[in-house]
A and B are shown apart, each in its own frame.
Chain A
Amino acid sequence: MAACGALEDGAVIMFINYEHNTHVYNVTVERRDNKFFITYDNNEYTVNAIEVKPGQLSIQLGDRAIKSVISEGEDSKFVFIDGSIFKVKRIELTGRKKTEKKEGDLNSPISGTVVTTKVKQGGQVKKDDVILVIEAMKMEYLIRAPYDGKIKKVYFKEKDQIEIGQLTAEIEKEEE
């Protein structure tokens, strides 16, 4: 979330944090009509910019023109720059946000249907053993054991629908 307010002469200043793939970018922007003063990473950039049509920006930075298209999704923005698209979230920084990935991700990478489960509760698995197979768009995705251990719980069975990010199974790591 950004803080924002009006300066005495009518300019607006905002402090914004953008999150993109586990990195956070801290930016301040101050606007005076079509002029924007942007501070990022201890550098200040002064640009002239107009929104040509909704979401389409024409930005002049020195002798360089930046053409960008931005659209808003449900909880993030999509930024188009020179053929590349970046999905960016604005976040509020109140302490550290936890996006920690634990060793060995057992979360489903995709929404789909569980085709088979290869293990049973209480069973032993070796690193890279297939835990279960998920099918989506006619392609198969394998969830593999990240380490040797004992299956604590399998959350899905054959034919179950699974959503992206859902935990597929828990494995008790074997002590070395």
Chain B
Amino acid sequence: MFKKVMIANRGEIAVRIIKACQEMGIKTVAVYSEVDRHSPHVQIADESINLGDPAPSESYLNIAKIIESARNVSAEAIHPGYGFLAENPDFAKACADSGIKFIGPTPEVIRLMGDKIEAKKTIASAHVPVIPGYPGVKQDLSTLIKEGKKIGFPLLVKATAGGGGKGMRVVHTEAELEQSIESAKRESKSAFGNDSVFLEQYIDKPRHIEFQILADEHGHVIHLFERECSIQRRHQKIIEETPSPVITPKLREVMGKAAVAAAEAVGYTNAGTIEFMVDSKQNFYFMEMNTRLQVEHPITEATTGVDLVKWQLRIASGMELTIEQTSLFQRGHALECRIYAEDPSNGFLPSIGTLEKVELPIGPNIRNDTGVETQFHVSSYYDPMLAKLTVNSENREESINKMIWALSHYVVLGVTTNISFLKKVLEHPEFRKGNITTHFINDYFKDWLVTKEGLPLDAIIALAVYDSLHPQRQEIVRYKEADPHSPWQHVGRWRMGR
């Protein structure tokens, strides 16, 4: 096993990996940019290295700086987490060239799976179904438009190097096609440094269901069942669960086998995820493979009892997988919510500010993965995800109730978060019934506004009590100056001129 591992990431995932290393007696090295100097992941690591400039390209995406730092501290391996360099084959290659073990698959496999077109071809050759589309052999606008019309509408424009909804556009009409292709190309260029896109038929009422894979370097591949990630806003997952409410034992077996076959077809090693789209008739199609640890991995850990990060470390150090497929079971049900610093009443725009108070819910089978704490400053440099909340119970209904309880006790003050929105989604009767698709948010929450009902009475009472207990100095005026007959006094709530 490794003696020292560098974690080339930040936030909750860096914290989660560092803790796994510490449990295994592995020394950890954190990296950080100037604005993350006091972040929890830096505090808990054994060593930390300042990468300087907070711009991602100068810090968490700077391959040369990270490799040099790892060599300076004699780290034997680097765990990339997710995002940043996790799916960058050049980084995996640079690690190998410097004699540092990259905790993930080989650079060749990352490159192959990162090229969505080649990935689809390779996976299809392993007899796994794929979605019809244009692979984007030619990238000029006129060819893409022509091919787009051939596929028909609605269709998807996707970044070849993409993931996480970035560089992706749904096109409903021919008129939107050109603008969507251009915009997807720009976003992809800025997020991934590559503006190639491909086109794909848009599947109606699709569910996003993915399978977790573990593969060692000795040819053993297992799957750890599915995760349903259909609840997405702007193609970004926000609520994930396992088991999926629609997967039958039969379909689970078939899809699990397909996932293993896909991983075997590319010679996959370490932890990975095969994403499928499942339509209303339970047909499933390969979408893409994520060659890294997923954000939503805790729900798999909660239901299988397997620690995926520890297995990543063991596999990377050359150990054999000792878990047999037949010994794995899904126990109960788990749900995860992603807590974002974003403002649901303002188009879900990222909310920036200093966290004045963070108090996490604690209770049986409640897991908090977080990389922030009180006084942490949420900046615009990085992804606005603050934390993940995972719960597990005997069944889906209990998980939902537990999650609603936990969210109701989740205190993050200083920025606005999506917590109230998450609660509304969980309380929705169709969600409770398990009738979900990737369009769920669009179908039921398109015009949802947190502020429709205004400030609740309880908030007004709490504010009044608080302000009465904490009068500000300048407010201490003599009583006679205050006008108890002011017309403002009893008019209640009113709306400002619009």
Contact = CB atoms under 8 A, between A and B. Distances in A.
Interface of A: 1-7, 12-31, 36, 38-42, 45, 47, 49, 51, 55, 57, 59, 61, 66, 68-73, 77-88, 90, 93, 96-101, 109-112, 115-116, 130, 133, 135-142
Interface in B440-461: 450-451, 454-461
B190 A135 contact: yes
A57 B478 CA distance: 28
B356 A1 contact: no
Contacts, number: 242
B281 interface: no
Given A98-B497, A100-B498, A29 B465 contact: yes
A6 B483 CA distance: 13
28 contacts: A2-B467, A3-B481, A15-B482, A15-B483, A15-B486, A16-B464, A26-B490, A26-B491, A42-B490, A51-B466, A59-B462, A70-B462, A73-B414, A82-B408, A83-B420, A84-B456, A85-B416, A85-B419, A86-B456, A88-B455, A99-B496, A100-B496, A101-B498, A109-B347, A111-B352, A138-B166, A138-B190, A139-B166
Contacts of B484: 13, 15
Contacts of A99: 496-497
Interface string B416-429: 11011001000000
A71 B412 CA distance: 10
Interface residues of B, number: 79
Q: Tell me which of B183, B412, B461 has the highest count of chain A C-beta atoms within 10 A of its own C-beta.
A: B461
Contacts of B488: 15, 17, 26, 93
A78 B384 contact: no
Q: Is the interface of B mostly helix, strand, loop or mixed?
A: mixed
Nearest to A86: B459
A80 B413 contact: yes
Contacts of B483: 3, 15
The 4 A-B residue pairs whose C-beta atoms are closest, nearest first, are A5-B479, A41-B492, A3-B482, A71-B356
B138 interface: no
Interface stretch (B32-40, B221-229, B265-273, B469-477): B469-477
Given A2-B467, A26-B489, A110-B350, A97 B496 contact: yes
Contact of B420 (A24, A45, A79, A85): A85
B493 interface: yes
Contact of A4 (B187, B454, B455, B475): B475
A12 B479 CA distance: 9
Contacts of B460: 18, 25, 27, 38, 40
B191 interface: yes
A21 B493 CA distance: 12
Contacts of A141: 349
Contact of A130 (B179, B380, B419): B179
A79 B495 CA distance: 20
B411 A69 contact: yes
A135 to B, nearest CB: 6
B321 to A, nearest CB: 35
A81 B458 contact: yes
A28 B482 CA distance: 11
Given A13-B482, A57-B465, A24 B496 contact: yes
A7 B413 contact: no
Given A26-B489, A39-B489, 9 more contacts: A12-B471, A15-B488, A16-B464, A20-B451, A21-B345, A23-B493, A59-B461, A81-B459, A85-B419
B462 A23 contact: no
B423 A14 contact: no
A29 B464 contact: yes
Given A137-B350, A140-B183, A69 B478 contact: no
Which secondary structure characterizes the binding site on chain A? Answer: strand
A136 B396 CA distance: 36
B416 to A, nearest CB: 6
A46 B482 CA distance: 22
B382 interface: yes
B407 interface: yes
Nearest to B455: A20
A12 B166 contact: no
A27 B457 CA distance: 11
Contacts of A133: 183, 186
Given A14-B467, A57-B462, A83-B419, A139 B187 contact: yes
A29 B462 CA distance: 11
A23 B495 contact: yes
B498 A70 contact: no
Contacts of A27: 460, 463-464
Given A73-B414, A138-B187, A83 B408 contact: yes
Contact of A78 (B350, B356, B464, B489): B356
A85 B413 contact: yes
Nearest to A30: B468
A137 B479 contact: no
